[in-house]
């Protein structure tokens, strides 16, 4: 099948999922055409079945600082669909991608071409930005006009029905992980360099936006130190809250136990030396970074909100704690870090669950089934 994939190329989990999906589909024989404002950052290299089409915008004095990207994207979708013979347009994140795709599909239909639209909802397109009156009617319309709609968790499916007038079905297709790339690895030398004492290592990976509550990881670290747990914290990523985290670490006197590693691509190398992954998010429809940790055999302590309980099975692959309750989160972390048998059981369960439930072979066929259904006209 020839599939056009559109996503945000530079930031966010939705772009990662879209890019990894395209790569996985290409290895399964599909031809993938990424249509985006820039090369998706996880794409790496192009293969014989992967193509990239950059959406350019036109400057014009009337547009001043604004140029209508949504329309430029629509035109590019029409162009690629016509000339490459796309069978389906699959867009990730409703705003503005679903709107562009629906318009492109209708333009193509006016020329006698049928190219159905699959929209995958990811998170803030529904839970935050999409609910703002600035965009809500357009988001609702674009979802309802899509030929098929998927959501990355049952929580997100329920939120969509709760906040939008969407009468149609939404398929839940969870995020997935490449368990060849993300797997337990023995990195003893790296661990010795990064944690030269007998310390346990906790890792957090995010874009340091307020919704991630990254500073809570520093609070958890400080409480663990008070409890006498010998532990250090690796913070991967960067963003607006980084400075506040640094300041809080100094205030709490744990700055020498925190390492800010910045944006890192080979996250799996860092996860390989981790004993625990912390995800104290205030909102999370799925929690892809936690899944990548689980695949590396790293148990997770996360908040019990959004889609996280669908990923982190409490007591089995990690522990859930209330949002903002850093004492409870520290207690949960201490429990796992201080009990080697429990840690080993959880690590094993993490690897198993990541592979069996969220591995490529488990999830990619779900997307293929949706494409088959819309292309064959079973879903319209």
Binding residues for ligand GMT (CB under 6 A) = 12-14, 17, 93, 122-124, 127, 152, 175, 211, 283-288
Strand 276-279 versus strand 258-262 pairing type: unpaired
H helices of 47-185, in order, are 69-84, 94-110, 124-127, 136-145, 154-163
Residue 289 C-beta: closest distance to ligand GMT, Å: 7
The span from the first CA to the last CA of the chain, in angstroms, equals 18
Measured from the CB atom, the residue of 157 and 257 that comes closer to ligand GMT is 157
Q: How many CB atoms lie within 10 A of CB 355?
A: 18
What's the closest the beta carbon of residue 302 comes to ligand GMT, in angstroms?
11
Pair of tokens at residue 97: 């991608």
Which residue number, 152 or 337, has a Cβ lying nearer to ligand GMT?
Answer: 152
> Min. distance of Cβ 190 from ligand GMT in angstroms?
26
Q: Which of 4, 118, 117 is nearest to 52 (CA)?
A: 4
We find the least distance from the C-beta atom of residue 55 to ligand GMT, in angstroms, to be: 18
Q: What are phi and psi of 67, to 5 degrees?
A: -125, 135
Closest distance between ligand GMT and the C-beta of residue 206, in Å?
A: 8
Q: Report the nearest approach of ligand GMT to the CB of residue 355 (Å).
A: 18
Backbone angles phi, psi at 35, to 5 degrees: -125, 110
Residue 5 β-bridge partners: 34, 90
Looking at the Cβ atoms of 13 and 40, the one nearer to ligand GMT is 13
Nearer to ligand GMT, 87 or 302 (CB): 302
Is the bond preceding residue 209 a cis peptide, omega within 30 degrees?
no
Long-range CB contacts for residues 99-102, cutoff 8 Å, separation at least 24 = 99/70, 99/138, 99/139, 99/141, 99/142, 100/6, 100/70, 100/71, 100/73, 100/74, 101/6, 101/74, 101/77, 101/142, 101/146, 102/141, 102/142, 102/145, 102/146
CB of 59 to ligand GMT, least distance (A): 27
The helix (H) or strand (E) run that includes residue 216 is helix 215-226
In the complex with ligand GMT, which residue's Cβ is closer, 146 or 283? 283
Tokens 């990064």, residue located? 194
User: CB of residue 127 vs ligand GMT: minimum separation in angstroms?
Assistant: 6
Question: By C-beta, is 206 or 329 nearer to ligand GMT?
Answer: 206
For ligand GMT, the closer of residues 214 and 283 by Cβ is: 283
Judged by beta carbon, residue 25 or residue 288, the one nearer ligand GMT is: 288
Beta carbon nearer to ligand GMT, 31 or 358: 358
Q: Write down the least CB distance from residue 305 to ligand GMT, Å.
A: 10
Q: What is the rounded distance in angstroms from the CA atom of residue 165 to the CA atom of residue 175? A: 25
Q: In residues, how long is the chain? A: 380
- Asked if 71 and 98 touch (Cβ cutoff 8 Å), the reply is no
Q: Which is nearer to ligand GMT, 120 or 145 (CB)?
A: 120
Smallest separation (angstroms) from ligand GMT to the CB of 314: 18
DSSP conformation letters of 7-57: --SSSSHHHHHHHHHHHHHHHTT-EEEEEESS--TT--S--TTEEEEEPP-
């Amino acid at each position: 099948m020839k599939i056009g994939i559109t996503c945000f190329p530079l930031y966010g989990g939705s772009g990662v999922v879209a890019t990894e999906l395209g790569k996985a589909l290409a290895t399964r024989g599909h031809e993938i055409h990424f249509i985006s404002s820039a090369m998706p950052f996880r794409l790496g290299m192009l293969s014989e079945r992967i193509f990239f089409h950059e959406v350019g915008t036109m400057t014009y004095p009337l547009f001043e600082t604004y140029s209508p990207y949504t329309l430029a994207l629509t035109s590019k979708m029409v162009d690629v669909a016509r000339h490459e013979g796309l069978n389906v347009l699959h867009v990730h994140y409703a705003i503005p991608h679903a709107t562009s795709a629906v318009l492109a599909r209708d333009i193509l239909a006016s020329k006698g071409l049928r190219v159905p639209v699959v929209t995958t909802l990811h998170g803030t397109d529904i839970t935050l930005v999409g609910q703002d009156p600035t965009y809500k009617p357009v988001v609702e319309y674009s979802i309802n006009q899509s030929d098929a709609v998927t959501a990355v968790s049952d929580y997100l499916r329920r939120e969509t029905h709760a906040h939008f007038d969407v009468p149609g079905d939404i398929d839940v297709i969870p995020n997935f992980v490449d368990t060849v790339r993300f797997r337990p690895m023995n990195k003893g030398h790296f661990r010795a360099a990064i944690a030269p004492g007998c310390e346990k290592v906790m890792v957090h990976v995010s874009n340091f936006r307020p919704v991630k509550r990254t500073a809570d990881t520093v609070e958890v670290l400080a409480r663990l130190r008070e409890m006498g747990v010998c532990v250090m914290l690796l913070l991967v990523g960067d963003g607006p809250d980084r400075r506040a985290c640094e300041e809080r670490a100094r205030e709490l006197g744990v700055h020498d136990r925190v390492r800010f590693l910045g944006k890192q691509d080979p996250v799996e190398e860092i996860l390989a030396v981790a004993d625990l992954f912390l995800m104290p998010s205030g909102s999370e429809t799925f929690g892809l970074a936690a899944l990548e940790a689980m695949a590396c055999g790293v148990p997770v302590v996360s908040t019990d909100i959004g889609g996280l309980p669908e990923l982190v099975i409490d007591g089995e692959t990690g522990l859930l704690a209330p949002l903002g309750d850093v004492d409870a989160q520290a207690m949960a972390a201490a429990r796992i870090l201080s009990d080697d048998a429990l840690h080993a059981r959880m690590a094993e369960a993490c690897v198993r669950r990541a592979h069996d439930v969220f591995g490529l072979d488990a999830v990619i066929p779900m997307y293929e089934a949706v494409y088959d259904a819309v292309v064959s006209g079973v879903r319209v």
